[in-house]
Amino acid sequence: MDLHILDHRLKVTSICKDGLVNFTHPLIKLIFLRNRTRCKFFSLTETPENYTVVLDEEGFKELPASEYLQVEGSTWLPLNVVSNGHASSSSQAVGVTKIAKSVIAPLAEQHVSVFMLSTYQTDFILVREKDLSVVVHTLEEEFNIYREVGGESVPVHSQDVHNGLQKNGKVATKPTVHPVLSPQNQFCVMSLDPDTLPAIATTLIDVLFYSSSPKEGPQPNPDLDCIKFFSFSLIDGYISLVMDTETQRQFPADLLFTSSSGELWRMVRIGGQPLGFDECGIVAQISQPLADSDISAYYISTFSFDHALVPEEDIISVIDMLQQQRLEPAC
Amino acid sequence: MSGSKPDILWSPHHVDHFVICDSELSLYRIESVGSAETKAGALSLSEETAATLLAINSDTPYMKCVAWYPKHEPECLLAVGQANGRVVLTSLGQSHNTKCKDLMGKEFVPKHARQCNTLAWNPMESNWLAAGLDKHRADFSVLIWDISSKFAPEASIATEKIRLSSGDADSGLVVTKPLYELGQNDACLSLCWLPRDQKLLLAGMHRNLAIFDLRNTSQKMFVNTKAIQGVTVDPHFHDRVASFFEGQVAIWDLRKFEKPVLTLTEQPKPLTKVAWCPTRTGLLATLTRDSNIVRLYDMQHAPTPIGDETEPTIIERSVQPCESVIASFAWHTSSQNRMVAVSTNRAMTDFTVFERISLAWSSTTSLMWACGRHLYECTEEGGEGGAVDQDITTKMRQRAQSRYGHDTAQVWRNHLLAGGDDPQLKSLCILKIWSRGNRGTNSLWCILASRTLSSPPLARRRAGAVGVARTDRRMRCGSTARSGAWRCSCPAGSSAGPEIDVEPFLKSLEQEGEWERAAAVALFNLDIRRAIQILNKGASSEKGDLNLNVVAMALSGYTDEKNSLWREMCSSLRLQLNNPYLCVMFAFLTSEPGAYDAVLYESSVAVRDRVAFACMFLNDSQLPRYIEKLTNEMKEAGNLEGILLTGLTKDGVDLMESYVDRTGDVQTASFCMLKGSPGEVVKDPRVQCWIENYRNLLDAWRFWHKRAEFDIHRSKLDPSSKPLAQVFVSCNFCGKSISYSCSAMPHQGRGFSQYGVSGSPTKSKVTSCPGCRKPLPRCALCLMNMGTPVSSCPGTGKSDEKVDLSKDKKLAQFNNWFTWCHNCRHGGHAGHMLSWFRDHTECPVSACTCKCMQLDTTGNLVPSDSI
């Protein structure tokens, strides 16, 4: 297995819902005018709380400083696991599940905070730049690690990145087990030919910026039966979309790509209150049990909460499992 | 590929069919204009060809890539890869083939939709279709579909149902289960099947090139690289693969897959297509975005991974099929170097890349050139005469054959050897006699300079050449006249000593029939009577011109009076005389004293005559000016007659340089300059260059004997050019050079036979080492000990001691020389070896299989000259 440290330096930001008007111009530029910006990594996720925007430094320059813009201070580097065909194709579980044991768990043990971003095409594991040496040191036994520089992959070894720091020092405290909740809407994960992006531009703008228009306003379901969740990412020319089935209907059916089986996903939202960026082991505590049960999943971290998508037929068992887990440490 | 940019595909089997695909598929037939012009709507592709639209298929939206079924039947089956990853089989035009109908509309659907980037039919297993898809986190990116299930006549409906049951059963034409799935969690951007084995698939994956082996799908060979787009195998060299990334093309050799064997110069714009020419080896065409040229790389000697690090010789050139920006192009499968290019506005151009012409002159003026698969030879028309005959190489070759330059005894004859038709060469040869006679090359200048010593700049310039400085005006004058005109003209009867008699010279001119010149010389010696006599004689001679009598008549009317009618008429009518000598005679007679420009600058008069005239009639201040001016004129014109003035000095080299520039005659230059003073002239790089070029020329003509003679001749005149000994024969026993010891020995006469001894017993035998007296090796053929008598001492041979190589003066016949193979080290007498290898290829020593003669590249060539 190969682990690629991609050539992007990312910022994790959050745009407050009220302040969206200040950012529509740069966002539209980043989404639709690929040729007008040098941004190669862009992800926008709408949650009921805010818009989480993850983008590289080139893209970050486009965003105007504003009181509505919250920026996480560190620079994040995306990691990407490439199976290189060595992975046994027997296991059907994919995504976070596949890398849970090999990447997520060891990093959690080393007290490295990770920010997950699953797309239609792949899973990105974002780590802070300052943690890189620990990451390399931790994972080099399992992986051939390459750092991508200008399109070429350069092998990396821990001695190349030593900056004195061998371990984070802190012993991983017993992780807090966060409450989970599962909204009722069904989600689908899709992709799109970038060339046909203009064809859905109006719909996309509508969904992104006008979804919380007053007509739907007075329905915030206290039980969170349905959650507003929409994610768009444009990374290295690949588009990935996560939306619920309700939203999907607004798009022309023949343009969006999804699996031929038409699989649908249910969401598990992690955290009762904003999780912050320093706590580690959150992804691990969700992905571990999924991996144990061989359930595939998408995992999308946002500024406040984490979201896992699991196949809808598995949602009951997953919730049970996670509830169980929450009870156990209490015992 | 996608909607806006059209792509083009040639039919694999119909040489005149091609498909343009953008948003729809259009089938065209290409025809020559003659047959197509009757048809309306034919699109002109070039001056000779036009295309007719045969069919359009717009059933498949979102086309991303197209691949044409490689087999003959069904002929017009196309696989279309769509933006959502589905692969659809479709067809163009009417198909009467039921198999084709069964396949039509069949879809192959991946589990997770994403763009289909590339398609490739397996060339052998033609029901296998490989599709390369974009990345999906959980899915495979290379899917190999089997289209055959319905195809095979014996395939039962039952198996069909089973296959389809996994997919949408409703249409009955959807296949979701690929034969092979490869490249999980990766993206595939380009694919091609390797001709080495039908189960090997080369794929350009995300950040690496991978070779999948379908016999064992868990294994693959891969190399990390950026250059993963457009992988394509050289149809003529199955281990060579090209791929590209952005503006850079990488050439790979599959036998050494670790890194590209070659990367081509990076283009500023990203590439869009790279294709090997199917009809010519090693020709790669590349196209960049927004460009109207196709760049071609000719890789005839591209490096191979095995062995040498030789510099790759790649010839890069560009062709421009049409004015507009090219969207795509495709090589024709069988027509040589032909392609059709389609521009972004769908205009098509039929274009044949003109093959580079490689041209070769042979050393014997015949010309040959190769273009494509044709070889043309240009032969001389009419043989003798004409423009070809004028060529200097032909002349030089003929001159070399007639031993031009080699007659060292009678140098003046050389101009006859040269053909005798070039006045400049003639004057040069005459000059050579003269210079020899004066034991030096600068004699003329010695004397001329002494004559002109009073002119400081000129004198200083010639200072090195000044031998004897004489001050006496009379002496000077006389000697000058003599020097300039020893054979030419005028011991000045009036002013100089009477010791020089012009009469013999006039006689010789008369003999040669140069009446006019003789008359002029007589006149310049102020002997009108003699001049008239000569003219009369000329008129009455066999081929004489009666007009000479008229001239004599005019001459006899000479009067001293300034304003006479005679003078007036002569000075105006003289210009109508054809012969320059007659012309200058009247110019001389009619000119004012001291103003002889009409004579001095009459370029048709031989330089030597003009110089002689100048010496006689110009005063001390005029003469050096005139000489200097004439010298510069001659130097600029490269007129060999000017050697008279420059001598074989640096100035002579300058003059010769402009002569060589004008004529290319390195032969004359070499022979002439060899006689120059060895110190400065022969060492001049220009002279060395001429000499080397002439030697090379002789070699190229296979005039080896002539070249050897030239070298001998050269080494006599320029001892420093003698090559050092390159081969030494040393005794096996004592290790001493046998030739070295020989030369130290007293002279051994020719009386030695091969084994015999003569003379005193202290003299060693020829066949034994002179150092230790052990026998020399035996000839492999006659088994006799070898040995050749050696000349006493090479140092004593004087340059003027003429060695005639063709005579029996040689110490040892060539047949007795040592010779041996550098490879197997066997050898013997040269004569024996030569006759052995006339009939054999292998070494004469039994059990030695060395093919000695074949190792000698020139050994089998026959010299084209004789000794």
Is residue B3 within 8 Å of residue B23, measured between CB atoms? yes
Residues of B in contact with A152 (CB under 8 A): 224, 226
Residues of A in contact with B3 (CB under 8 A): 195
Residues of A in contact with B112 (CB under 8 A): 120, 257-260
Q: What is residue B418's predicted lDDT score, i.e. its pLDDT? A: 64
* Contact criterion met (CB < 8 Å) for A195 and B83: yes
Q: What is residue B485's predicted lDDT score, i.e. its pLDDT? A: 39
Cα–Cα distance for residue pair B255/B262, rounded to 1 Å: 14
Task: Flag whether pLDDT at B63 surpasses 50.
Answer: yes
**How many alpha carbons lie under 13 Å from residue B250 in its C-beta half-sphere?**
24
pLDDT in tens, B329-347: 999 988 888 889 998 888 8
Interface check for B263 against chain A (CB to CB < 8 A): the answer is no
Residue of A nearest to B85 (CA): A257
Q: What residues have CB less than 8 Å from B361, skipping those under 6 apart?
A: B367
The pLDDT-based confidence of B306 (bands split at 50, 70, 90) is low
Task: Flag whether pLDDT at B324 surpasses 50.
Answer: yes
Q: What is residue B534's predicted lDDT score, i.e. its pLDDT? A: 86
Interface check for B207 against chain A (CB to CB < 8 A): the answer is yes
Q: What is residue B276's predicted lDDT score, i.e. its pLDDT? A: 93
Residues of B in contact with A151 (CB under 8 A): 226, 245
- Kindly state the percentage of chain B with pLDDT values over 70: 74
DSSP character at residue B680: I
Nearest to B620 by CA among B739, B454, B749: B454
Report CA B492 to chain centroid distance, whole Å. 55
What is the helix (H) or strand (E) element at residue B103, kind and residue range? helix B98-103
* Contact criterion met (CB < 8 Å) for B85 and A257: yes
pLDDT in tens, B502-560: 788 888 888 887 888 888 888 888 888 888 888 888 888 777 677 788 888 888 877 77
Q: What is residue B408's predicted lDDT score, i.e. its pLDDT? A: 64
Average pLDDT, integer, range A248-265? 82
Average pLDDT, integer, range B64-69? 90
Average pLDDT, integer, range A113-121? 89
Residues 269-328 of B with CB under 8 A from A: none
pLDDT in tens, B829-847: 888 888 888 888 888 888 8
Residues of B in contact with A260 (CB under 8 A): 109-113, 167, 176
Residues 738-777 of B with CB under 8 A from A: none
Listed range (B108-117, B442-451, B730-739) with the worst mean pLDDT: B442-451
Q: What is the ipTM of this complex?
A: 0.82
The chain A residues in contact with chain B (CB within 8 A) are 4, 81-85, 87, 89, 92, 94-95, 118-123, 146, 148, 151-153, 191, 193, 195-196, 238, 254, 257-261, 296
Q: What is residue B642's predicted lDDT score, i.e. its pLDDT? A: 80
Q: What is residue B37's predicted lDDT score, i.e. its pLDDT? A: 55
* Contact criterion met (CB < 8 Å) for A85 and B85: no
* Contact criterion met (CB < 8 Å) for B112 and A95: no
* Contact criterion met (CB < 8 Å) for B113 and A257: yes
Residues of B in contact with A82 (CB under 8 A): 185-186, 206-207
* Contact criterion met (CB < 8 Å) for A296 and B138: yes
Interface check for B831 against chain A (CB to CB < 8 A): the answer is no
Residues of B in contact with A87 (CB under 8 A): 184-185
Residue of B nearest to A153 (CA): B224
* Contact criterion met (CB < 8 Å) for A260 and B138: no
* Contact criterion met (CB < 8 Å) for A296 and B84: no
Task: Flag whether pLDDT at B259 surpasses 80.
Answer: yes
* Residue in A148, A156, A260, A295 to test binding to B, most B beta-carbons within 10 Å: A260
Q: What is residue B46's predicted lDDT score, i.e. its pLDDT? A: 83
Cα–Cα distance for residue pair B538/B559, rounded to 1 Å: 24
CA-based nearest distance A203→chain B, Å: 20
Burial of B740 (0-12, 13-18, 19+ CB in 10 A): middle
The pLDDT-based confidence of B353 (bands split at 50, 70, 90) is confident
* Contact criterion met (CB < 8 Å) for B181 and A118: no
Task: Flag whether pLDDT at A52 surpasses 80.
Answer: yes
* Contact criterion met (CB < 8 Å) for A118 and B137: yes
Q: What is residue B192's predicted lDDT score, i.e. its pLDDT? A: 92
Cα–Cα distance for residue pair B223/A311, rounded to 1 Å: 36
Q: What is residue B537's predicted lDDT score, i.e. its pLDDT? A: 84
- Token duo for residue A141: 């036994």
Residues 164-193 of B with CB under 8 A from A: 167, 176, 181-187
- Token duo for residue B358: 């490689």
Residue A329: cis peptide before it, omega within 30 degrees of 0 = no
Q: What angle do CA A164, A169, A172 make, to 5 degrees?
A: 145
CA-based nearest distance B190→chain A, Å: 17
Return mean pLDDT, chain B: 75
- Token duo for residue A13: 């930001």
Distances (CA, A) of B628 to B198, B481, B621, B648: 84, 17, 12, 16
Task: Flag whether pLDDT at B810 surpasses 60.
Answer: no
Is residue B693 within 8 Å of residue B356, measured between CB atoms? no
Other Cβ atoms closer than 10 A to A91: 12
The pLDDT-based confidence of B585 (bands split at 50, 70, 90) is confident
* Contact criterion met (CB < 8 Å) for A260 and B110: yes
* Contact criterion met (CB < 8 Å) for B176 and A260: yes
CB pairs < 8 Å spanning A and B? 90
* Contact criterion met (CB < 8 Å) for A259 and B3: no
Kindly report the three-state secondary structure assignment for every residue of chain A: CEEEECCCCEEEEEEEHHHHHHCHHHHHHHHHCHHHCCCCEEEEEECCCEEEEEEEHHHHCCCCCCCCEEECCCCEEEEEEECCCCCCCCCCCCEHHHHHHHHHHHHHHCCCCEEEEECCCCEEEEEEHHHHHHHHHHHCCCCEEEEEECCEEEECCHHHHCCCCCCCCCCCCCCCCCCEECCCCEEEEEEECHHHHHHHHHHHHHHHHCCCCCCCCCCCCCCCCCCCCEEEEEECCEEEEEEEHHHHCCCCCCCEECECCCCCEEEEEECCCCCCCCCCCHHHHHHHHHHHCCCCEEEEECCCCEEEEEEHHHHHHHHHHHHHHHHHHHC
By Cβ distance, the residue of B136, B182, B226 closest to A152 is B226
By Cβ distance, the residue of B111, B185, B208 closest to A259 is B111
Residue of B nearest to A88 (CA): B218
Distances (CA, A) of B608 to B487, B581, B725: 9, 13, 44
* Contact criterion met (CB < 8 Å) for B111 and A260: yes
Bridge partners of B80, per DSSP, are B66, B88
Residue of B nearest to A261 (CA): B111
The pLDDT-based confidence of B309 (bands split at 50, 70, 90) is low
Nearest to B398 by CA among B780, B751, B22, B697: B697
| A257 compared with B460, residue with greater pLDDT | A257
The pLDDT-based confidence of B827 (bands split at 50, 70, 90) is confident
Cα–Cα distance for residue pair B610/B672, rounded to 1 Å: 23
- Kindly state the percentage of chain B with pLDDT values over 90: 7
Is residue B642 within 8 Å of residue B631, measured between CB atoms? yes
The pLDDT-based confidence of B132 (bands split at 50, 70, 90) is very high
* Contact criterion met (CB < 8 Å) for A122 and B185: yes
CA-based nearest distance A235→chain B, Å: 12
Q: What residues have CB less than 8 Å from A21, skipping those under 6 apart?
A: none
The pLDDT-based confidence of B233 (bands split at 50, 70, 90) is very high
Interface check for B109 against chain A (CB to CB < 8 A): the answer is yes
* Contact criterion met (CB < 8 Å) for B83 and A193: yes
**Residue matched to tokens 């092979």:** B180
Cα–Cα distance for residue pair B407/B413, rounded to 1 Å: 7
CA-based nearest distance A252→chain B, Å: 14
Cα–Cα distance for residue pair B132/B134, rounded to 1 Å: 7
By Cβ distance, the residue of A83, A254, A259 closest to B185 is A83
* Contact criterion met (CB < 8 Å) for B137 and A260: no
Average pLDDT, integer, range B32-36? 70
* Contact criterion met (CB < 8 Å) for A261 and B111: yes
Residues of B in contact with A4 (CB under 8 A): 207
By Cβ distance, the residue of B3, B222, B226 closest to A151 is B226
* Contact criterion met (CB < 8 Å) for A87 and B184: yes
pLDDT in tens, A11-30: 999 998 888 888 989 999 99
The reported pTM is 0.64
CA-based nearest distance A242→chain B, Å: 14
Cα–Cα distance for residue pair B196/B95, rounded to 1 Å: 33
Q: What is residue B274's predicted lDDT score, i.e. its pLDDT? A: 93
| A167 compared with B834, residue with greater pLDDT | B834
pLDDT in tens, A125-135: 999 988 888 88
Return mean pLDDT, chain A: 81
Average pLDDT, integer, range B721-726? 75
Task: Flag whether pLDDT at B173 surpasses 70.
Answer: yes
Task: Flag whether pLDDT at A161 surpasses 60.
Answer: no
CA-based nearest distance A85→chain B, Å: 6
- Token duo for residue B549: 């009598």
Is residue B340 within 8 Å of residue B326, measured between CB atoms? no
Cα–Cα distance for residue pair A128/A112, rounded to 1 Å: 8
Q: What is residue B409's predicted lDDT score, i.e. its pLDDT? A: 62
Is residue B194 within 8 Å of residue B201, measured between CB atoms? yes
Residue of A nearest to B61 (CA): A254
Cα–Cα distance for residue pair B175/B85, rounded to 1 Å: 13
